[in-house]
Amino acid sequence: MKNMVKLGFIMAIYATVACVSLAFVYTGTQKVIAERQKADLEAALKDLFPQGETFEEVTGTLNSPDNSVGFKNEYVIKQAGNPIGMAVRAVGASYGGPVTVLVGVGAEGKIAGVKVLENKDTPGLGANAANPSYFVDRASGITFYGQFKGKSLSDPFEVKGDVAAITASTITSKAVTKVVKTAGQAAGAWLASQTGGSK
């Protein structure tokens, strides 16, 4: 009986040490992950708006006009203190789960660029939405996400219409397009209200 109590006490000490160690590792890892995500986001924002001087987070500014698309973060991009665009990190449902897209909109009412940040769709098919080596127009070197750059917010955004689909991945194509259109129009309307521009 005495040996069992001693063994139990030793096991409790080991378990406590293991839990404390895991907590420290988790805390340290979370900080590194958060810093990496922040750096990746800043790089993506700079890629969408190379002329941007400041990126001000204004999360909560926009309301999604479509309940199936949620807005996670919103950023106003400024140059010389004036808003020149907005970027929205938006999420919608796709074939393999949620798809997260960073949508940039310029003050002139056009898509500045799109970055697919997270996509769990089928590798080689729907996952091509984020693939820089997959082209919907190989001759022009246009990727699936790249085709949105320069599109007017008044365009239809119809897959197999003004938006080229990913081969054998219509669901993914429609999901990403829906997120881009929804986030783009919401950001465009806000920018127009701030700058007096047209949507």
- What tens digit of pLDDT does each residue of 4-62 get? 777 777 777 877 877 776 767 767 677 787 788 788 888 999 999 999 999 999 999 99
Specify the pLDDT at position 198.
Answer: 46
Both 43 and 57 in a single domain? no
Both 90 and 181 in a single domain? yes
The range of the structural domain enclosing residue 7 comes to 1-48
- CA proximity to 107, closest of 136, 79, 146, 144: 79
Task: Answer for the pair 80, 122: CB distance below 8 angstroms, yes or no.
Answer: no
Both 180 and 95 in a single domain? yes
Distance CA 46, CA 6 (A): 60
- CA proximity to 45, closest of 93, 117, 99, 98: 117
- CB 153: neighbour CB atoms within 10 A? 22
Specify the pLDDT at position 199.
Answer: 43
Does residue 55 sit in helix, strand or coil? strand
Specify the pLDDT at position 9.
Answer: 75
How many degrees, rounded to 5, is the angle at CA 65 between CA 61 and CA 69? 90
Both 44 and 88 in a single domain? no
Strand ranges across the sheet with 97-106: 54-57, 69-79, 82-94, 97-106, 111-119
Both 74 and 157 in a single domain? yes
Residues of the chain scoring pLDDT < 70: 1-2, 21, 23, 26, 28, 195-199
Both 86 and 173 in a single domain? yes
Both 17 and 64 in a single domain? no
User: What is the enclosing helix (H) or strand (E) of 144?
Assistant: none
Specify the pLDDT at position 32.
Answer: 80
Residue 169 in tokens? 């991945």
Q: Please, what is the average pLDDT of the chain?
A: 91
Both 67 and 4 in a single domain? no
